[in-house]
Amino acid sequence: MPFDYTAMPDVDTWVRYQGQRLLYIYGEYDPWSAEPFRLGPGSRDSYVYYVPKGNHGSKIAMLPAAQAAAATATIQRWAGITPSPQLRRASALPSVDFDPMLSQRPPL
């Protein structure tokens, strides 16, 4: 398939004006966050979070506790799952530091 340089601007326009139920997790040091997708006036029920000192492998569990709880509750709401009582309290989620050993692929 040939490269189509118009694809990403088209996706960006969709995110800003028609995107629904989008959740972006960017790392503070993620090179992709230099040009992230931005929510716009047409984005509905969508959220963007930044993991402090995070990289491209940033995940919900790496967010500060209150943000991790909010992001998890959002996904559970989208999925029609009732959040557990523990996740209703932001303090129930531990603060997780990035561990490079967990990001390594196991040997084949």
pTM: 0.70
Q: What are phi and psi of 3, to 5 degrees?
A: -65, 135
Residue 78 has pLDDT above 90, yes or no: yes
CA–CA separation, 19 and 39 (whole Å): 8
Residue 106 has pLDDT above 90, yes or no: no
Quickly list H helices, 28-104: 65-79, 85-88
User: Please, is 107 exposed, middle or buried when counting C-beta atoms within 10 Å of its C-beta (0-12, 13-18, 19+)?
Assistant: exposed
When pLDDT is cut at 50, 70 and 90, the band that residue 93 belongs to is very low
- Of residues 88 and 63, the one with the higher pLDDT is 63
